[in-house]
């Protein structure tokens, strides 16, 4: 997209946000934000006083009432504009997603095997559809037959197609994506309006955004402060009457608006919306703002090794024969053990054997039966018609298997496997019957920069735990190289749940990533579960975030965004409350100076007149909202540091800054009003 196009998009968003800001003036809408609703009520009162000056029992300055009324109106518009602009970014992204939802047709398979063409909206959960090359997949579901290349660029933005097939962790498909080649049969997994794409659109639009617990708590605090200041302003009337001071209604309204936390009240919703939007910009869909906030408070992250910490493409690097076994024999049986293994590791064994002069006859699968690897057995292989059983698997599992078969472990095998593990590789042992033939050296490498990223997490106070199915020696080597705090070797699905529960029992918040059906329970148990879009529907349903790019390391960015959201809300709340100090020194002396001359001592800013003091404070209160919109949208920059240093930094920057900036701003506005002879 060119710079001109981006500029046009921004202009359109600003224009639409301006229109929405006016629409949000509806009292029903404003009542959702009690702080700004009070401002709107004040605007209504001063507007009536501008039209009917004697309405509340006395004649007051019509021009002054008009000025206060206009400033309050602008304050409300700026607040609504902030929220509308934040929503506008989500709506722009939702519109691009809606283009993906076409009025697609579906080939619905009937019980008798015939095909009926129906609208995609007629499909229901459990229906089976046939999708051919160049067809749009009509609904979310699981592939039950066929293998095809899927173009998911409409959702992920990634142009490369993805191979999907039945079974395993890569069988789910999303409605709106496109089949590039071959065909698949899909079992529909969602009714109309409940698809993944529908939920994405609702989430990014903010149409169903629920306030987070922290946002609700802060909102309650703001309401409490507003009630307190309403009582304060109300009690000023009899006090002023007692000392024979007449307080114009517009002045009381101005005082109330300046005292209540209008700055954070006007930006609170925009901060929450923008926080979720920042996650969306990373191609992560958060199912709720609560999950984004929880990410900011995470204490522990559970990470898979393969594909997250390491590249995940473990390739056969060497075939090491056991004592008494020839290299050719090991090559042959390593190929036999991998005949039905379609994983990258299995194919790499065949590639390595080809380099060593693989005869074509070794690749004959006729009559053979593949034994699939599972997390429980940790063994795979091939059974031959003549009764020959060839296996490959984890060292400890194979050793137990050999003992059961009545065989013996060759001398030096354990040392060979330990040496492979110490180098950061994964040893797989090849057997035929009760004979151990040698070791396959699978080599994996840690992704560049992972150690530095884990150092950043450590500075944030976050503990990292690596989970892997590898043996302890391999796991320890990779853990040291990557720089994680702890690791769990030979991990099973239930082990992940156990470590999550253990950390939570210590009062910690836990995040984890996953993509398989067996990860679903752990993703559901974690406080922040990040599922991969390429994974199963079960994983995506269990998690509270979905990464459209299927990049497990993105959990680190999600944590940073969560912390940024919490910091932004805290920083602007601190700034908003600190702002009130200067307003006190502007308005209070202006109200009572004429009756109590000694109050002049509080006019430390040297403001010109009582009216200019009040109008200056009120104008500053209005214009500070749009000035802070970029900060609310972009977020406070997060730099990893200890909590105490972070608190000190923010108190100095936003606390002290929130006190000093209004003094300067109000004084400059007062000077401008005097020059313009407005007050």
Q: Tell me the catalytic residues.
A: 304
Asked whether the CA dihedral 296, 300, 301, 302 is positive or negative, the reply is: negative
For residue 129, the surrounding DSSP H or E stretch is: strand 128-132
Residue 248 near residue 546, CB atoms below 8 Å: no
As a whole number of angstroms, the distance between CA 448 and CA 671 comes to 57
Structure tokens at 614: 């009040």
Asked whether the CA dihedral 20, 26, 28, 31 is positive or negative, the reply is: positive
Give the contacts of 564 (CB within 8 A, at least 6 positions apart).
Answer: 275, 278, 296, 635, 636, 637, 638
As a whole number of angstroms, the distance between CA 163 and CA 202 comes to 28
Which of 404, 461, 486, 399 shows the shortest CA–CA distance to 436?
Answer: 399
Structure tokens at 377: 């057995």
As a whole number of angstroms, the distance between CA 46 and CA 27 comes to 16
As a whole number of angstroms, the distance between CA 517 and CA 259 comes to 54
48 SS3 class: helix
Helix intervals (H) in 382-449: 395-404, 413-422
C-alpha distances in angstroms, 336 versus 392, 422, 605, 642?
10, 27, 88, 55
C-alpha distances in angstroms, 403 versus 198, 285, 387, 408?
55, 50, 19, 7
Neighbours of 630 (CB within 10 A): 10
Which of 24, 174, 170, 41 shows the shortest CA–CA distance to 101?
Answer: 174
C-alpha distances in angstroms, 537 versus 287, 306, 397, 513?
14, 21, 31, 14
With tokens 């752990």, the residue in question is 522
């Amino acid at each position: 997209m060119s710079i001109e196009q981006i500029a046009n998009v921004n202009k359109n968003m600003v224009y639409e946000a301006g229109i929405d800001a006016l629409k949000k003036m509806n009292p029903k809408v404003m009542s959702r934000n009690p702080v700004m609703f009070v401002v709107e009520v004040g605007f209504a009162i001063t507007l009536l006083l501008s039209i009917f000056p004697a309405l509340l029992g006395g004649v007051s300055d019509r021009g002054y009432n008009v000025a206060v009324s206009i400033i309050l109106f602008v304050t409300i518009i700026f607040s609504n504009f902030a929220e509308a602009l934040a929503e506008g970014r989500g709506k722009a992204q939702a519109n691009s997603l809606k283009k993906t939802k076409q009025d697609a047709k579906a080939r619905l398979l009937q019980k008798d095997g015939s095909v009926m063409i129906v609208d995609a909206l007629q499909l229901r959960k459990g229906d089976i559809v046939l999708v051919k090359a160049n067809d749009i997949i009509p609904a979310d579901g699981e592939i039950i037959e066929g293998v095809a290349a899927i173009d998911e660029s409409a959702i992920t933005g990634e142009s490369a197609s993805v191979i999907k097939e039945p079974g395993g962790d890569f069988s789910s498909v999303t409605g709106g994506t496109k089949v590039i080649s071959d065909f698949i049969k899909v079992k529909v997994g969602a009714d109309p309006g409940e698809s993944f794409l529908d939920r994405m659109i609702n989430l990014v639009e903010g149409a169903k955004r629920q306030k987070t617990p922290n946002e609700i708590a802060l909102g309650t605090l703001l309401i409490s402060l507003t009630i307190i200041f309403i009582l304060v302003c109300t009690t000023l009337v009899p006090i002023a009457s007692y000392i024979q001071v007449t307080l114009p209604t517009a002045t009381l309204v101005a005082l109330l608006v300046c005292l209540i936390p209008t700055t954070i009240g006007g930006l609170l919703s925009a901060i929450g919306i923008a926080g979720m939007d920042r996650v969306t910009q990373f191609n992560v869909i958060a199912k709720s703002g609560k999950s984004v906030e929880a990410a900011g408070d995470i204490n522990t992250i559970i990470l898979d090794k393969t594909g997250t910490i390491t590249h995940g493409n473990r390739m056969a690097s060497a075939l090491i024969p056991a004592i008494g076994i020839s290299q050719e024999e090991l090559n042959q049986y390593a190929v036999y053990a991998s005949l039905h293994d379609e994983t990258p590791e299995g194919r790499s064994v065949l590639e390595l054997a080809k380099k060593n002069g693989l005869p074509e006859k070794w690749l004959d699968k006729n009559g053979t039966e593949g034994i699939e690897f599972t997390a429980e057995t940790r063994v795979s292989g091939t059974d031959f018609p003549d009764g020959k059983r060839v296996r490959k698997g984890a060292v400890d599992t194979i050793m137990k298997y050999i003992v059961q078969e009545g065989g013996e472990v060759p001398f030096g095998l354990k040392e060979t496997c330990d040496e492979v593990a110490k180098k950061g590789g994964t040893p797989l042992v090849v057997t035929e019957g009760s004979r151990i033939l040698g070791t396959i050296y699978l080599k994996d490498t840690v992704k560049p920069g992972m150690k530095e990223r884990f150092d950043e997490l450590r500075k944030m106070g976050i503990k990292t735990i690596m989970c892997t199915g590898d043996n302890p020696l391999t796991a320890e080597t990779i853990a040291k190289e990557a720089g994680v705090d702890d690791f769990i070797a030979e991990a099973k699905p239930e082990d992940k749940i156990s470590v999550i529960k253990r950390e939570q029992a210590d009062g910690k918040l836990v995040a984890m990533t996953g993509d398989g059906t067996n990860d679903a329970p752990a993703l559901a148990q974690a406080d922040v579960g990040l599922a991969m879009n390429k994974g199963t529907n079960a994983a995506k349903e269990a998690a509270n975030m979905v990464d459209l790019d299927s990049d497990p390391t993105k959990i680190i960015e999600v944590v940073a965004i969560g912390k940024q959201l919490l910091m932004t809300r805290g920083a602007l709340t601190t700034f908003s409350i600190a702002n009130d100090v200067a307003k006190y020194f502007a308005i209070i002396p202006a109200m009572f100076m004429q009756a109590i001359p000694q109050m002049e001592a509080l006019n430390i800013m040297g403001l010109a007149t009582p009216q200019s003091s009040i109008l200056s404070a009120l104008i500053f209160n209005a214009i500070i909202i749009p000035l802070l919109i970029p900060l609310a949208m972009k977020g406070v920059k997060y730099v990893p540091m200890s909590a105490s240093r972070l608190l000190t930094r923010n108190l100095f920057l936003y606390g002290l800054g929130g006190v000093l900036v209004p003094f300067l701003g109000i004084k400059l506005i007062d000077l401008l009003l005097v020059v313009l002879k407005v007050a």
